[in-house]
């Protein structure tokens, strides 16, 4: 793709922005619809390419996926016969491995292509396999495919050695139909884990404790369809909070759950911003000068790794030197070279970045090396002197609905440039705009 985003820095963001549904909840809940043969209606679905990929996989394997309105879809998997999810489909997205958990629940077997490598470092799936095997599943890897089968899923007590969002999701999906009780210990506690549990319970599952360290699941014999609204995206909200702070703006961020944003709000307050919390919105007022801060990312409720690049971009403008430690991924500082091109002074040693604040960043051509790195580039560019050109923006489109449009509404000088004239027109229309006629 030859699309680029052009940002001319210097505008303080002002006004209101509405947050879309949570990507990481949607990509777990969409494959979970395979656990029932009845129809599910999902509301507050974000219009992002990662969701498109998950829905494409469902359509390809024979599910009836219908768009009801711009953020609501219905999914009916009653006609899906036992499918294999081939490499061509699963390579587009790592989270396609959630079909392992939902299909073993439905068919007592599943075959999904092994996820490949990734820009964030080594991504083992040993904890997923530990979860499946504990429930009585045989797991084998043949020619790049993960083959799983069992005669019967049996409830079990599983202690995860590593806190993993993906392993927690996959084991929850596999255990809703397991006979007896399954106890999952040392699980992820992210808001999307709670959202998945709520969705499964809306289908008739019996999942308790999501959001704490221990999840208890009483197996059931059948799940039914349901209507379910996905939670707002914590990381999209956090990204706008950082953008407001970085530009010294004043933004009301609507359709959020302020409790999910506490670790982010706390850090913004520490660096000099001010936060006002309301029932389902939050106001962020950026400071005149940004204070330095030492920060370490941790699983929820710690500061999210998915906000680390955005925070590093912000701290590159702080007064003094900050230390950012990545506590989840092995390799999440690749984007730092791009920030350096804008004049940021950052040294990286393994999982630690030392960020020496500078007065201003200066525009340069840069790349979005991954999704959250792309968000960091946008934040840096919004503050930089001159016009920054950001390439490889398809990474940003994976997880941020209409971000260019939303930033423009807040007063940013930003546009998408496409080499393809038809695409150019389409890009100027927000994906979520209600269609006339």
Q: Which residues are catalytic?
A: 118
Member of 167, 268, 282, 348 binding ligand EPU (CB under 6 A): 167
Q: For residue 259, what are the contacts with CB-CB under 8 A and spacing of at least 6?
A: none
Size of the site for ligand EPU (CB under 6 A): 23
Complex with ligand EPU: residue 101 or 166, whichever CB lies closer: 166
| Residue 372 touches ligand EPU, criterion: CB under 6 A | yes
- Residue pointed to by tokens 């397991």: 178
| Residue 203 touches ligand EPU, criterion: CB under 6 A | no
Query: Which residues, numbered 232-261, are part of the site for ligand EPU (CB under 6 A)?
Result: none
Member of 329, 333, 335, 405 binding ligand EPU (CB under 6 A): 329
Contact region for ligand EPU (CB under 6 A) — 104-112, 161-169, 200-208, 412-420? 161-169
Q: How far apart are CA 319 and CA 96, in angstroms?
A: 43
Q: What region, left, alpha or beta, does residue 195 occupy, with left being phi > 0 and alpha being psi -120 to 50 degrees?
A: alpha
Member of 22, 55, 105, 128 binding ligand EPU (CB under 6 A): 128
C-alpha to C-alpha distances, 314 to 59, 134, 335, nearest whole angstrom: 41, 44, 14
In eight-state DSSP terms, residue 130 is: H
Tokens at residue 57, please?
């996989």
116, burial (CB in 10 Å: exposed 0-12, middle 13-18, buried 19+): exposed
Q: How far apart are CA 353 and CA 318, in angstroms?
A: 14
Tokens at residue 151, please?
């005669």
Member of 30, 165, 382, 414 binding ligand EPU (CB under 6 A): 165
Q: How far apart are CA 105 and CA 82, in angstroms?
A: 12
| Residue 350 touches ligand EPU, criterion: CB under 6 A | no
Q: How far apart are CA 241 and CA 259, in angstroms?
A: 14
Member of 135, 176, 237, 371 binding ligand EPU (CB under 6 A): 371
| Residue 166 touches ligand EPU, criterion: CB under 6 A | yes
Taking CB atoms, the residue at the shortest distance from ligand EPU is: 166
Q: What region, left, alpha or beta, does residue 269 occupy, with left being phi > 0 and alpha being psi -120 to 50 degrees?
A: alpha
Alpha helices in 18-96 (DSSP H): 23-32, 49-60, 87-90
| Residue 141 touches ligand EPU, criterion: CB under 6 A | no
| Residue 162 touches ligand EPU, criterion: CB under 6 A | yes
Complex with ligand EPU: residue 128 or 290, whichever CB lies closer: 128
| Residue 400 touches ligand EPU, criterion: CB under 6 A | no
Contact region for ligand EPU (CB under 6 A) — 162-170, 279-287, 350-358, 388-396? 162-170
188, burial (CB in 10 Å: exposed 0-12, middle 13-18, buried 19+): buried
Interface map 35-64 toward ligand EPU (x if CB under 6 A)? ------------------------------
Tokens at residue 426, please?
């389409």
Least Cβ distance, residue 122 to ligand EPU (angstroms):
6
Query: Which residues, numbered 208-227, are part of the site for ligand EPU (CB under 6 A)?
Result: none
Greatest Cα pair distance, the chain, in angstroms, is 64
Least Cβ distance, residue 145 to ligand EPU (angstroms):
18
Least Cβ distance, residue 274 to ligand EPU (angstroms):
27
| Residue 27 touches ligand EPU, criterion: CB under 6 A | yes
Interface map 5-24 toward ligand EPU (x if CB under 6 A)? -------------------x
HEC per residue, 17-33 = EECCECHHHHHHHHHHH
Element (H, E) at 389: strand 387-391
Complex with ligand EPU: residue 188 or 339, whichever CB lies closer: 188
Query: Which residues, numbered 286-325, are part of the site for ligand EPU (CB under 6 A)?
Result: 305-306
Pairing mode, strands 14-18 and 250-254? parallel
Complex with ligand EPU: residue 326 or 402, whichever CB lies closer: 326
Which residues in this chain contact ligand EPU in the complex, by CB under 6 A?
24, 27, 95, 122-128, 162, 164-167, 188, 305-306, 328-329, 371-372, 399
């Amino acid at each position: 793709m030859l699309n680029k985003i052009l940002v001319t820095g210097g505008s303080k963001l002002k006004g209101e922005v509405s947050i879309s549904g949570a990507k990481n909840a949607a990509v777990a809940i969409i494959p979970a619809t395979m656990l029932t043969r009845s129809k599910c209606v999902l509301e507050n679905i974000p219009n992002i390419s990662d969701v498109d990929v998950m829905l494409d996989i469902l359509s390809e394997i024979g599910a009836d996926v219908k768009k009801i309105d711009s953020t609501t879809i219905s999914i009916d998997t009653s006609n899906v016969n036992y499918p294999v999810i081939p490499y061509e489909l699963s390579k587009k997205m790592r989270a396609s491995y959630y079909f392992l958990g939902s299909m073993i629940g439905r068919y007592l077997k599943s075959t999904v292509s092994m996820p490949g490598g990734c820009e964030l470092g080594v991504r083992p799936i040993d904890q997923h396999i530990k979860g499946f095997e504990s429930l009585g599943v045989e797991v084998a890897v043949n020619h790049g495919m993960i083959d799983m089968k069992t005669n019967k899923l049996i409830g079990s007590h599983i202690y995860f050695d590593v806190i993993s969002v993906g392993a927690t999701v996959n084991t929850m999906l596999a255990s809703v139909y397991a006979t007896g009780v399954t106890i999952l210990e040392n699980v992820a506690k992210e808001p999307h884990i709670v959202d998945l549990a709520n969705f499964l319970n809306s289908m008739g599952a019996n999942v308790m404790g999501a959001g704490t360290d221990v999840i208890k699941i009483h197996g059931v014999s059948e799940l039914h369809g349901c209507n379910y609204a996905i939670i707002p995206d914590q990381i999209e909200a956090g990204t706008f909070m950082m953008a407001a702070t970085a530009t010294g703006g004043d933004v009301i961020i609507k359709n959020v759950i302020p409790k999910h944003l506490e670790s982010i709000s706390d850090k913004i307050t520490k660096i000099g911003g001010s936060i006002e919390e309301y029932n389902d919105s939050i106001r962020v007022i950026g400071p005149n000068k940004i204070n330095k801060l030492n920060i370490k990312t941790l699983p929820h409720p710690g500061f999210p790794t998915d906000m680390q690049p955005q925070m590093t971009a912000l701290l590159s403008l702080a007064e003094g030197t900050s230390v950012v430690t990545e506590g989840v991924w092995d390799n999440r500082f690749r984007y730092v070279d791009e920030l350096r091109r804008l004049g940021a002074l950052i040294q990286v040693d393994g999982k630690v970045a030392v960020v020496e604040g500078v007065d201003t960043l200066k525009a340069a051509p840069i790349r979005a090396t991954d999704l959250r790195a792309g968000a960091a580039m946008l934040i840096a560019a919004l503050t930089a002197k001159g016009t920054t050109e950001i390439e490889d923006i398809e990474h940003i489109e994976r997880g941020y609905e209409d971000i260019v449009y939303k930033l423009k509404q807040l007063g940013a000088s930003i546009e998408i440039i496409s080499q393809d004239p038809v695409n150019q027109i389409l890009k100027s229309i927000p994906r979520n705009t209600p269609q006339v006629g």
